[in-house]
Amino acid sequence: MSEVLFWEKLNEMRSALAEAEKKYKHCCGQKSGGEQTSELVFKEAVQVQKDLMNYAFSKHQRAINQFINEFSFLADMDKETQQISVFHLSVWGIFFRPLTDQKETIFQEFLTKKAEDITRPKTRQVVQSWTDMEPSLLLLNEKTDESLYFENMITAEKVEVDVKPDQTVLPEKGSLVLGFPVQFEEKAEFFIQYTMFAKKSLQILFFFRSASLLTHMKQMEERAAHL
């Protein structure tokens, strides 16, 4: 992967995290009577995402780069598809591949060093649950002012995602999205961001490339489990 593309993706991650912080300020800012626990947990989890990504790319840039370069099929993709793939592969590598010198995942190393900074038990529980997340290709079946209702195209699992008051761009019904859904109490959120494929502009090649990416990720997880 070129250095230019690598830093483009890092900047995109940082921009997505800044948007997440903005969502918090709009939907969960200080209210009369103080902030609710769920609002504080969301705010703190967003901050942990930001801290984790900064840690990963400042401490383990070379290892992440080498991991991405293992996927030769990236070279055959157009730039837009390649950028989408690099983003999701980077998240996958940080959480599920032993990329540190101690053969831990970057996420495990981060938690070991930073766990004492996560003082709220509920926030710690949410952060630890991220080890169970997986890349998902989701179909939007329904949407309301409060929620987006997805179906996982691989497992048929139903996923309800919260809609924040400041979200002005939402996928159309029937659209596909690619992302890492993580649970926040009753509803889910996407880890950092998701990739949206508009229903009318979705090309079949794009779909199969996205599905191929998920297959490659799952195969890597299965191989790692037998190391």
Show the 3-state SS of 17-71. HHHHHHHHHHHCCCCCCCCCHHHHHHHHHHHHHHHHHHHHHHHCHHHHHHHHHCC
Lowest mean pLDDT among 97-101, 166-170, 211-215: 211-215
Lowest mean pLDDT among 28-42, 63-77, 211-225: 211-225
The pLDDT tens digits for 178-196 are: 889 998 877 888 888 888 8
Q: Comparing C-alpha atoms, which of 178, 177, 179 is closest to residue 133?
A: 179
Rounded distance, CA 186 to CA 160, Å?
8
Q: What is the pTM of this model?
A: 0.74
Place of tokens 């591949």: 97
Q: What is the rounded average pLDDT of the residues 37-59? A: 90
Q: What is the rounded average pLDDT of the residues 141-165? A: 90
Q: Which carries the bigger pLDDT value, residue 176 or residue 151? A: 151
Per the structure, the complete domain to which residue 20 belongs is given by 3-225
Q: What's the pLDDT at 81?
A: 76
Q: What's the pLDDT at 213?
A: 57
The pLDDT tens digits for 84-127 are: 788 888 898 999 899 999 999 999 999 999 988 999 999 999 99
Q: Comparing C-alpha atoms, which of 17, 9, 12, 14 is closest to residue 45?
A: 17
Q: What's the pLDDT at 207?
A: 44
Domains in the chain, number: 1
